[in-house]
Amino acid sequence: MSQPRTSEHDIHPLFLQRWSPRAFTGEAIDEATLLRFFEAARWAPSGYNAQPWRFLYARRDTPEWQPVFAALSEYNQGWATRASALVVILSRKVWTPPGKTEPQAITTHSFDAGAAWANLALQVTLSGWHAHGIGGFDQDALRDALNVPQDYAIEAVAAIGKQGDKAQLPEALQAREYPNQRHPLRQLVSQGRFTFETE
């Protein structure tokens, strides 16, 4: 059942407003709008300020769309077909720090790319669009199709679009087309020692 999102503590409403619909309108998105989203991502924090995130974008009705779309799982293709853009989120696993000559591993590359994605998703919301993360895709197919080198991790894909009519979705998805909830804060935060229930 759909319940309005509420916070246990006072936070900016943006955090509650961001959510991930699957029904999109399929309308075109221009590059300037997309670049705004990437600009927000650019300002995320990262270990050593290495900025390991990279984004590959594909707007619908452009030649770049099909290789990304084709790599999505059938389930995700079912709804992402009406997104306006698909964004592949990569992270560089190694870097050469200033003053060094040999590349070394970036232990935080995925964490950092996650922070950049969160910035992006919040800017998308602020701009009146929606972003929906996608982990269900064929890694190898996407790596091959987009020529992604092995020292970059393919973290996720994101669908971006304007929210559309949920009637277009399969029935099972229509029933889930509303903002979901979160665990209570007490299950997520503990002062000091680990006191969470383990599953």
Ligand X SMILES: Cc1cc2nc3c(=O)[nH]c(=O)nc-3n(C[C@H](O)[C@H](O)[C@H](O)COP(=O)(O)O)c2cc1C
Closest distance between ligand X and the C-beta of residue 176, in Å? Answer: 9
Closest distance between ligand X and the C-beta of residue 75, in Å? Answer: 7
Q: Which of 124, 112, 99, 143 is nearest to 21 (CA)?
A: 124
Closest distance between ligand X and the C-beta of residue 24, in Å? Answer: 12
Give the whole-angstrom CA distance, residue 55 versus residue 157: 9
- Binding-residue pattern over the window 101 to 140 for ligand X, x denoting contact by CB under 6 A: -------------------------------xxxxx----
Give the whole-angstrom CA distance, residue 9 versus residue 11: 6
Q: Which lies closer to ligand X via its Cβ, residue 19 or residue 38?
A: 19
**Interaction residues for ligand X, span 71-100 (CB under 6 A):** 76
Q: Which pairing describes strands 130-134 and 152-161: parallel, antiparallel, or unpaired?
A: antiparallel
20 binds ligand X (CB under 6 A): yes
**Interaction residues for ligand X, span 31-60 (CB under 6 A):** none
- What spatial distance separates the first Cα and last Cα of the chain, rounded to whole Å? 25
Contact, 90 vs 68, CB < 8 A?
no
Binding interface with ligand X (CB under 6 A): 19-20, 76, 132-136, 156, 179-180
